[in-house]
Amino acid sequence: MSQGERKIVAVSVACVWTKPDSSRLVDEPALQRPAGIRAWLDAMTLEERLDLCNGNRLQTQVLYGTEVIVAEVQGEWARIFIPSQSTRKEAAGYPGWVRSAQLADPAADSGLLPRADVVSAAAWLHTAPAAEARSLELSFMTSLPVLAEEASWVKVRTPDGIGYLQTGDVRITESSPASVTASSNGHVGASILEQGRRFLGLPYLWGGLSSFGYDCSGFVYSMHRYAGITIPRDASDQARHGLLVEKERLEPGDLLFFAYEEGRGAVHHVGMYAGHGRMIHSPETGKTIEIVELSGYKLALEHCVSRRYWS
């Protein structure tokens, strides 16, 4: 593995750490190949979840089959950039450290093939077109190159070879990300909101960017990806782009940003307007994705700006 080399993520969800020594003993299941994401989440105490943020440990996550760029290698760790996650931190993409064993070589022609995007909340990858041949549980919006469509199965290329996904779990697109998808009433913002509602009750995860657990900005990032819209990874960057929307003109799918010092300080949170004076968001460690009334909500006075990316 060398500097500048392109790789793809070879685990269902790779955790991207601040430094090679940022992970703890409790994080070992998430560092393996295959990664034990559910076992990791189930094992962590509330204090250990809080420490992902308070200890400046977890930066972001990246999904199976996603391309990354290797910036540096130290022992069994690789510093990577994630081009699909834009940030002010690095022009090449979101930076951080992953276990080198969780990366694989990409196939030369994968970028030319149609994509199978997981649109179920989660989906099983199979080693053969048979229900009993489960091999890996994949997150919402995992995207893999399509080799063939076979009745009720889609044959895909994976970092581990050939795999199969059930047609009901995916949509086929000509490229990744998919083109913009509108809801039944033709409103793209409402379509983004519809996807967000599917994850109500999902526990918050600092740095989370998978349907096993989202942080606030990872949640809105992933719902926009469903509509074929790539937005910056972090709330502070998301608040700097998109179309500025005044409060009286908010529509479902618009993003609401919150800043310290009653809106005058640094942006620290983002939610999505859900219509009728409400917001859907992934609030904080120890809580779950929820819809709240904006009026009287504890962050109401911190609302500093609203942005629209779907127009």
Report, as residue numbers or ranges, the catalytic residues.
216, 269, 281
Report the alpha-carbon distance of residue 156 to residue 17 in Å, rounded: 29
Cβ proximity of 231 and 67 under 8 Å: no
CA angle, residues 226, 232, 234, in degrees to nearest 5: 110
